[in-house]
Amino acid sequence: MSSVSGKAFDSKLFLRLMQYARPYRTAFQLGLIMTVILAFLSPLRPILIQYTVDTCIITPDGPGLLRMTLIMAALLVLESILQFGNTYLTNWLGQSVIRDLRVQVYEHITRFKLKYFDNTAIGTLVTRAVSDIETIADVFSQGILVIIGDILQLIVVIIAMFVIDWRLSLISLASLPLLIITTYVFKRAIKMAFQDVRTQVAHLNVFVQEHLTGMSIIQIFNREKASFEKFSNVNREHRRAQIRAVWIFSIFFPAVEILSSISLGLLIWWGSKGVIGGIVTLGNLFAFILFIFMLFRPIRQLADRFNTLQMGMVGSERVFRVLDTQAQIEDSGTVSPPRLRGNIKFDKVWFAYKDENYVLKEVSFQVSEGETLAIVGATGAGKSSIINILSRFYEINKGTISIDGINTRDYKLEFLRNSISVVLQDVFLFSDSILNNITLNDPEKSEEDVVKAAKKVGIHDFIQNLPGGYHFDVRERGGMLSVGQRQLLSFLRALIHNPHILVLDEATSSVDSESEMLIQEAIRALTENRTSIIIAHRLATIQAADRILVMDHGRIAESGTHQELLKLDGHYKRLYDLSKIKESA
């Protein structure tokens, strides 16, 4: 995702980007009109000065001088007003475009399947959705319209110069071919430099995001120094890329200044001789001095504008690469009944996260409406993979999964996921209030609903004792709460969404005994009259399940009730004996 095309300017990419300006075509058109007017107004000043010097100063004319001064002042005021309007409109346009684009990118990312996030660094996506999109705003505020204005102004200035005096024009433009070559070389060099800068920014974001998130691990294992050294290397590469871009700029701008000074020197030398010889007027000489500044300043700025445009193109290509990524779970289902009964059937299901490294192999089982199925097994046996494919977070490779006799692919994806609630071992809480973490900002879930559900699972008193109660801010990732408290909130979150099918993924594996008692009460409330699948390491928590599956290396090794499995004296018996030893220890 970090690579981009080598084109200096991609017209197809630019036209695609301009489609986002269509809803704001009025603002774009007004900005374009102001840009054109400014391009014609700016060259008027040297012409007015030339006229004033030749007709009102060389030949003294007090009233004429006052009149021309007022005209130039009015022209300056008009230019200032148009410049303000143009600057405001183009920046407003740029911000409006990136607002729409950022919303589209975020919405697109939220539909990616989990496999995409397994293979893509989160920091890279943050860079795409934030800083890369930010460079696109400059395409409109400092790029295309300003480039049009600068080019048009150059054309108008050159035409005006030749109309006034073609000899002075040729002298003034003597260094222009060298300037064009210099600008072309600069544009290609800075394009590559900017690509490197954007790549290093992404690397820096990825590193900082990952290591700040995992700072507790770094400190626990005393790896602060190693982490700092690695950060220094990443930061050094970022600095190198930035300095390379600065180095290119530091060569280009002095070169432009030297070329403009050469033109100015030639103009003054030849023009002064012309004034003395009577073939050039003093007003013309003054006008051409101003014309040179008006000529070289836009050319110098044009290179900068093109660089801004190129940075926007680099950012655009990276952003569109995300938008063009088809990593969504196919949602072609049409079935969405009033509710699910909860009859689940796995029929010879094979599943691999990558290629044909299967983590589930020919798995078949059924869960009837209202039943509780427990799944146990060693780490890596395939337990969590079963819940990932049930909600279609991942697609299976072979076999079928059906609910109420209908293939899960035939259900509308939104309906399917709304019907299944999953309580994970690693509970994720947002930096927000308990209420919003429970409802996930669903306007249909009121605070009264949350309070009622909290009382049902037995955690209302715990929440009420927190400062602010249900409006207590849990901070980032729920850092203000214990593991057990976060787990209890995840149960409440599942209950408030009233799922038809409930999945508990090792929900009691990391909590203390007191929290576990509360969680067991919550589980009883949650699983009542509801089809449930419970994955657990602690076998004591699933002994009352209607049926228990024992997973071993992706296959179902045993199946039955707690007592039936103990009598088999197989995998489950060994796991049970091991758990008893751990509990006694």
What is the edge-to-edge ordering of all strands in the sheet holding 398-403?
358-367, 344-352, 398-403, 406-407
The DSSP output letter for 21 is G
Quote the radius of gyration of the chain (alpha carbons, Å).
35
What's the pLDDT at 506?
A: 66
**pLDDT averaged per 10 residues, the chain (length 585):** 49 85 89 88 85 84 87 90 89 88 88 77 79 82 79 86 86 82 77 78 80 75 82 88 84 81 85 82 85 79 73 84 82 86 92 86 92 87 86 89 93 88 80 87 87 84 87 78 80 84 72 64 76 81 86 90 89 83 61
Closest CA to 436 of 421, 450, 419: 450
Instruction: Answer yes or no: are the C-beta atoms of 367 and 373 closer than 8 Å.
Output: yes
What's the pLDDT at 6?
A: 43
User: What are the distances in angstroms from CA 402 to CA 85, 281, 341, 392, 532?
Assistant: 61, 92, 12, 11, 15
What's the pLDDT at 167?
A: 87
What's the pLDDT at 3?
A: 44
What's the pLDDT at 510?
A: 54
- Report the alpha-carbon distance of residue 332 to residue 347 in Å, rounded: 21
Q: Residue 330 region, left (φ>0) first, then alpha (ψ -120 to 50), else beta? A: beta
Cα angle value 232/235/237 (rounded, 5°): 110
Instruction: Answer yes or no: are the C-beta atoms of 198 and 132 closer than 8 Å.
Output: yes
- Report the alpha-carbon distance of residue 142 to residue 302 in Å, rounded: 10
Where in the chain are all domains bearing CATH 3.40.50.300? 344-584
Instruction: Answer yes or no: are the C-beta atoms of 366 and 343 closer than 8 Å.
Output: yes
Concatenated DSSP letters for 149-216? HHHHHHHHHHHHHHHH-HHHHHHHTTTHHHHHHHHHHHHHHHHHHHHHHHHHHHHHHHHHHHHHHTHH
Instruction: Answer yes or no: are the C-beta atoms of 347 and 400 closer than 8 Å.
Output: yes
Q: Does domain 344-584 have CATH number 3.40.50.300?
A: yes
- Report the alpha-carbon distance of residue 491 to residue 437 in Å, rounded: 12
Where in the chain are all domains bearing CATH 1.20.1560.10? 24-323
Concatenated DSSP letters for 68-106? HHHHHHHHHHHHHHHHHHHHHHHHHHHHHHHHHHHHHHH
For residue 559, list its beta bridge partners. 549
Q: Residue 394 region, left (φ>0) first, then alpha (ψ -120 to 50), else beta? A: beta
Q: Token pair for residue 279?
A: 């073939």
Give helix then strand counts, H and E, for the chain. 22, 10
Q: What is the CATH number of domain 24-323?
A: 1.20.1560.10
Cα angle value 109/110/113 (rounded, 5°): 85
Instruction: Answer yes or no: are the C-beta atoms of 310 and 190 closer than 8 Å.
Output: yes
What's the pLDDT at 509?
A: 55
Concatenated DSSP letters for 345-411? EEEEEEEESSTT-EEEEEEEEEE-TT-EEEEEESTTSSHHHHHHHHTTSS--SEEEEEETTEEGGGB
What is the edge-to-edge ordering of all strands in the sheet holding 372-377?
420-423, 501-505, 531-535, 372-377, 547-552, 555-560
What's the pLDDT at 2?
A: 44
Q: Token pair for residue 552?
A: 């071993």
What's the pLDDT at 4?
A: 44
Concatenated DSSP letters for 281-326? -HHHHHHHHHHHHHHHHHHHHHHHHHHHHHHHHHHHHHHHHHHT--
Kindly give, in sequence order, each residue whose CB lies less than 8 Å from that of residue 126, ignoring residues fewer than 6 positions away. Answer: 205, 209
Distance, first Cα to last Cα, the chain: 50
Instruction: Answer yes or no: are the C-beta atoms of 118 and 353 closer than 8 Å.
Output: yes
